[in-house]
Each structure stands twice: as structure tokens, then as C-alpha cells.
Amino acid sequence: MKKFKITTKLREGIKDIEGETISTTLNANDWHIENMKVGQVFYFDAPHNKIKELCETVLVNTLLYDFEIEEV
């Protein structure tokens, strides 16, 4: 088993409603935030030969999200 970090983010062209809402709220309080993007990070141990399959079939909706796999 190896330790992995999987980071997801919305694909280019997919509207990030959650990011926009956070930006709007922060900017209403004078934080001056731009280009807020919201994603997810998963940390876990798994067999190396199965990690991409796990991401593509279970963890990540690949129609909406890109993902990055890192060994940690």
C-alpha cells in the first residue's frame, strides 16, 4: 500500500457556483477576492496499480472534474 493525495477541481468551462458564492460573500466584507475555485482533496492508502481506476470509477465525476494524483 502507498499513501496518496487526490486533488479535484472543476474542468475548464464548468461554472463554479460555490466559488462564486464564497467570493461574493468575502467581497461584501471588503476582502477583494478574485477567481475563487473550490475543489476537494482526498488522502488515503491504496495499491498503486488501482489508484487511477478508483478515481475514475468511484471518487471523481470525470465529466465535471479534473483530478491530480500525488504519492505522499
What's the pTM? Answer: 0.83
How many distinct structural domains can be found in the chain?
Answer: 1
pLDDT band at 50 (very low <50, low <70, confident <90, very high): confident
CATH number of the domain residue 22 falls in: 3.30.1280.10
Q: State the average pLDDT over residues 47-61.
A: 92
Selection from 71, 72, 69, 66 nearest residue 9 by Cα: 66
For 4-49, write each residue's pLDDT tens digit: 999 999 999 999 999 999 999 999 999 999 999 999 999 999 988 8
- Which residue range is the domain that position 9 belongs to? 2-71
